[in-house]
Amino acid sequence: MQHFLDFEGPIAELEGKIRELRHLSGESDLNIVEEVARLQSKTQLLLQQTYAKLTPWQLTQVARHPDRPHTLDYVGALIEDFQPLAGDRCFGEDHAMVGGLGRFRSRSVVVLGHEKGRETAERVRRNFGMARPEGYRKAVRLMRLADRFQLPIVSFVDTAGAYPGVGAEQRGQAEAIAQAIRTCLSVGTPIVSVIIGEGGSGGAVAIASADRVLMLENSVYSVISPEGCASILWRTNDQADAAAEALRLTAADMKNLGVADTVIPEPVGGAHRNPDPVLKSVGRHLETALTALEGKDPHTLVAARRKKYIDFRRI
Amino acid sequence: MSWLSDFIRPKLQAVVRRPAVPDLWTKCPGCDRMMFHKELEAQLQVCSACGHHLQMPVSARLKLLFDDGSYELMELPEVEEDPLRFRDRKRYSERLRLARADSDAADAIAVATGRIGARPCVTAVLDFGFMGGSMGMAVGEGLVRAAEFSKKHKQPLIAVTASGGARMQEGILSLMQLPRTVAAIEDAREAGCPYIVILTHPTTGGVTASFAMLGDVALAEPGALIGFAGPRVIESTVGETLPENFQRAEKVCELGMVDVVVPRSELKPTLVRVLAHLTNGPLPSPEDTGESSTAVAVIA
């Protein structure tokens, strides 16, 4: 069952018609090739028109689309001989934060990323991609591992935010995030982050304080969710669209503001409609970013990374 | 005289002006006792009946920490103002203007230098009274300047926190202050400077998720709320009921997240002791540090 977003109503209708026609043609001798082609080009045009002028709130929904490629899809497509690694060595294993060793284009790397999961049971197991302190401490552990063996770090960001639960608080959620940021800013090996869906606040920047930050065209990055912002500043939940607009959270905004280095284009209709070219394109951009950072000595890398953040938009 | 001076100006002044008579009496949030402002000041904003620690104005905090109450404020450079042109029900620029008219401060941070226990130190204090102590580019800049000063002059860096977290009206730019402040503080720490955090009520969100939880030593004031997500967020999004004393300094200390909960009257001597040990330096006698000041005597 394909998942359509609210604003995709007309597109869903057309695609439904196409399916119906195809179904019919199986049963009769009707020649529907022409009709299907006509509807398909109409759908394509409609997709183009719709996706050309998505509002920030609609973009947020695309970024959260359940069929969008997730971290493990990128790992599957881009990382060879992947060896997942588990646990923070203090408390537990957090399935919302995946990580491990693997080979990316003939070099070994440490991979980190939020994983939202896809089927219901899997989504629950992964806590919908919202990591607890264990997840961030595992990230710290893997980043240190990368530092020790001089392996580049690739992180995939896709989270609504760090989990705001009682247990997470009691085990030091804030400290875990702060340590993850500190570790990002202290490892003497290249770090490249790709924001593939939702970049939700502290839980995102915890693994995205990087040398290079790449963003998919339909991903978002924000200090607070539009819903959360609306409920605090507008004191109502139904102003999420206004909040999304005000927060300036799109990939294009991030590029303009200097937060993201590169915006990776997506096919018409978003990565969830056609994942393959997106997976490939992310691979190419990662390769470019990593190649540019390789061969620098650890001190230079750390100093440059810290300077980048300290001087961020300084007058 | 015109409508400009007769009508518009008084209206503007009414918005900008602070009340001529400040509230002389304050109700203790802990026990509802009414306290006279002079009494509260003398007792460092601590209720003499129940020991509740009220929020402390930035200037009083600096006076408390620095020897003889003497310090020099660092002039902080300007930062971009409202680059997102943020507007909710009110313009951010308007909120900033009102907050400034209310407080004399340019933003929610003050950075001061001086001596603490006879040792030159630099201190950054967040001002909860200014837009909830929220961290945007100005607060980030203050922290960075304090850390850079600390590194350059090899002085201990002290951060006193009170904040609701990142400032939403600066969007992603406020989120970037998390890595920004952490980077600056790491530079100072690696240069050998002790970094002490004093967590006061309340410290949450992006501030705890960055520089506030990274102190070499973390002191907390009694009853201070310390956490990542605020209690209401946790209740509403997760639907969990909160345990007793959840996120309160005493509980947070029991859970291992801070080193010690220190009553305000003990804060300065504790800080001086920690700094002396970390620098393997002399412990100054109380007379050297203005310890015998009236405020402390009253509490004792």
pLDDT for B298 beyond 60: no
User: Nearest residue on chain A to B181, judged by CA atoms?
Assistant: A310
Give the burial class of B82: count Cβ atoms within 10 A of its Cβ; 0-12 exposed, 13-18 middle, 19 or more buried.
Answer: middle
Would residue B108 count as lying in a domain?
A: yes
pLDDT for B23 beyond 90: no
A60, A91, A155, A166, best to mutate vs chain B, most B CBs in 10 Å: A166
Alpha-carbon span B216 to B263, nearest angstrom:
20
The pLDDT value recorded for residue A27 is: 65
The pLDDT value recorded for residue B2 is: 63
Mean pLDDT of chain B: 90
B250-256 mean pLDDT: 96
Would residue B30 count as lying in a domain?
A: no
Residue B142's CATH number:
3.90.226.10
User: Nearest residue on chain B to A230, judged by CA atoms?
Assistant: B88
Q: Which of the four pLDDT bands, split at 50, 70 and 90, describes residue B74?
A: very high
Enter the pTM of the model: 0.92
Distances (CA, A) of A97 to A90, A155, A202, B252, B289: 15, 10, 14, 25, 49
Q: DSSP class of residue B79? A: -
The pLDDT value recorded for residue B9 is: 65
Pairwise CB contact (< 8 Å): B175 & A202: yes
User: Nearest residue on chain A to B229, judged by CA atoms?
Assistant: A164
pLDDT for B13 beyond 70: no
Give residue-wise pLDDT tens across range B118-143.
999 999 999 999 999 999 999 999 99
A202 vs B170, B178, B183: nearest CB: B178
Would residue B64 count as lying in a domain?
A: yes
The pLDDT value recorded for residue B17 is: 57
- Residue A309: list chain B partners with CB under 8 A: 176, 179-180, 182-183
Pairwise CB contact (< 8 Å): B208 & A174: yes
In this complex, is the C-beta atom of A299 within 8 Å of any C-beta atom belonging to chain B?
no
Number of A:B CB contacts under 8 A?
173
Identity of the residue numbered B196: I
- For A60-310, give the CATH class: alpha beta
**At which residue do the structure tokens 């990565």 appear?**
A271
- Residue A227: list chain B partners with CB under 8 A: none
The reply to whether ipTM tops 0.90 is yes
Alpha-carbon span B38 to B228, nearest angstrom:
35
Alpha-carbon span A57 to A246, nearest angstrom:
10
Contact partners, residue B61, CB within 8 Å, separation at least 6: B125, B160
| Beta bridge partners of residue A220, listed in sequence order | A198, A250
Pairwise CB contact (< 8 Å): A224 & B77: no
pLDDT, block means (10 residues), chain A with 315 residues: 83 87 71 82 89 94 95 98 96 97 97 96 95 98 98 98 94 98 98 97 97 98 94 89 96 97 95 95 98 96 98 93
Name the strand (E) or helix (H) holding B298. helix B294-299
In this complex, is the C-beta atom of A184 within 8 Å of any C-beta atom belonging to chain B?
yes
B74-88 mean pLDDT: 94
B66-92 mean pLDDT: 95
Alpha-carbon span B147 to B211, nearest angstrom:
11
A248 vs B89, B171, B205: nearest CB: B171
B135, B180, B225, best to mutate vs chain A, most A CBs in 10 Å: B180
Residue-range domain boundaries for chain A: 6-53, 60-310
Would residue B197 count as lying in a domain?
A: yes
Identify the sign of the CA torsion A288, A292, A293, A296: positive
Residue B214 lies in domain: 56-290
The pLDDT value recorded for residue B264 is: 97
The pLDDT value recorded for residue B18 is: 56
The pLDDT value recorded for residue B284 is: 75
Would residue B18 count as lying in a domain?
A: no
C-alpha distance from A11 to closest chain B C-alpha (Å): 32
User: Nearest residue on chain B to A240, judged by CA atoms?
Assistant: B88
In this complex, is the C-beta atom of A149 within 8 Å of any C-beta atom belonging to chain B?
no
Q: Which one is predicted more confidently, A30 or B18?
A: A30
Pairwise CB contact (< 8 Å): B210 & A248: no
Would residue B42 count as lying in a domain?
A: no
Would residue B225 count as lying in a domain?
A: yes
- Residue B86: list chain A partners with CB under 8 A: 246-247
Pairwise CB contact (< 8 Å): A164 & B88: no
In this complex, is the C-beta atom of A13 within 8 Å of any C-beta atom belonging to chain B?
no
The pLDDT value recorded for residue A280 is: 97
C-alpha distance from B294 to closest chain A C-alpha (Å): 37
Would residue B164 count as lying in a domain?
A: yes
Pairwise CB contact (< 8 Å): A178 & B168: no
A175 vs B79, B242, B257: nearest CB: B257
In this complex, is the C-beta atom of A241 within 8 Å of any C-beta atom belonging to chain B?
no
Alpha-carbon span A112 to A96, nearest angstrom:
11
- Residue A246: list chain B partners with CB under 8 A: 84, 86-88, 171
Total structural domains in chain B? 1
C-alpha distance from A304 to closest chain B C-alpha (Å): 11
C-beta neighbour count of B286 within 10 angstroms: 15
C-beta neighbour count of B182 within 10 angstroms: 31
Pairwise CB contact (< 8 Å): B172 & A232: no
A181 vs B88, B169, B179: nearest CB: B179
